[in-house]
Amino acid sequence: MGRGPPKSTAVLTLMVILLTAALAFLYTAYSDLQERYRELKHNYEALAPEADVIIINDRDYYSVAKELIEAANESVYIIMYVLKYDPGDPDDPANALVWALGNASARGVEVAVIIEGETAETSEAAYNYFMKVGVNATWDREGVRTHCKLVVVDRYLVLVGSHNWTESALSYNHETSVLIRSEKAAEAEIRYFNQIWAEATATGG
């Protein structure tokens, strides 16, 4: 019987096959990344001309958030990881933001809040307050961590960044957020809010 090809030839052939497959995979992945980049670039260019962005650091966030909510005429949508309400502490700025939401709802503004469920022990007092004053609120669905700190007001103002609604974040920590004035940005974030809200309420959040 004839002998097969030398082992070195077989190994080389296998290496060529594997290398060809790897190159094909990398080419496909690169093509996908190019397509994603073009999509992101298009979305950015569509947004950039009309977006007005203001950087908000540390304790400046509180006054900006409070003014936005107090001036709201139509709607306030919020996703918050931690929302700590402590009415026994008159100096806690988070309380004023919670009360501002209640007041906005009372004057006819649509207010809806999504809170991360794993922070329920800390955020439950705020949730209970919202239920008491008629603010629409829900915990996010189980199995996913919602780490957003997002506020959308009147469908054109977006406040987003690292600030939780806690005394430490609003008074002591180094935190940074941005205020974006853009209907397109607000529309995108409202779609995102509605997606999370639908998931949360569908599972009894």
pLDDT (tens digit per residue) in 147-203: 999 999 999 999 999 999 999 999 999 999 999 999 999 999 999 999 999 999 765
Q: If you count them, how many residues does the chain have?
A: 205
Q: Are residues 138 and 180 in the same domain?
A: yes
Q: Are residues 40 and 55 in the same domain?
A: no
Q: Are residues 43 and 64 in the same domain?
A: no
Q: What is the CATH number of the domain that holds 165?
A: 3.30.870.10
- Domain with 2, as residue range(s), is 1-50
| Token pair recorded at residue 17 | 């096959």
Give the type of residue at 108: G
Query: Of the candidates 50, 72, 89, which is a domain's last residue?
Result: 50
Q: Are residues 34 and 55 in the same domain?
A: no
Q: Are residues 71 and 166 in the same domain?
A: yes
Q: Are residues 114 and 91 in the same domain?
A: yes
| Token pair recorded at residue 45 | 């260019």
pLDDT in tens, 57-116: 999 999 999 999 999 999 999 999 999 999 889 889 999 999 999 999 999 999 999 999
Taking the C-alpha atoms of residue 80 and residue 166, their distance in angstroms, rounded to an integer, is 10
Domain count, the chain: 2
Distance of CA 105 to the CA centre of its chain: 22
Instruction: Please say if the pLDDT value at position 122 is more than 70.
Output: yes
Instruction: Please say if the pLDDT value at position 4 is more than 60.
Output: no
Question: Containing H/E element for 110?
Answer: strand 110-115
Three state DSSP letters for the chain: CCCCCCHHHHHHHHHHHHHHHHHHHHHHHHHHHHHHHHHHHHHHHHHHHHCEEEEEECCHHHHHHHHHHHHCCCEEEEEECCECCCCCCCCCHHHHHHHHHHHHHHCCCEEEEEECHHHHHHHHHHHHHHHHHCCEEEECCCCCCCCCEEEEECCCEEEEECCCECHHHHHCCCCEEEEEECHHHHHHHHHHHHHHHHHHHHCCC
Q: Are residues 136 and 148 in the same domain?
A: yes
Q: Are residues 55 and 40 in the same domain?
A: no
Q: Are residues 33 and 76 in the same domain?
A: no
Q: Are residues 164 and 112 in the same domain?
A: yes
* Single pTM value for the model: 0.75
Q: Are residues 82 and 148 in the same domain?
A: yes
Q: Are residues 79 and 173 in the same domain?
A: yes
Instruction: Please say if the pLDDT value at position 204 is more than 60.
Output: no
| Inter-residue contact 95 to 129 (CB < 8 Å) | no
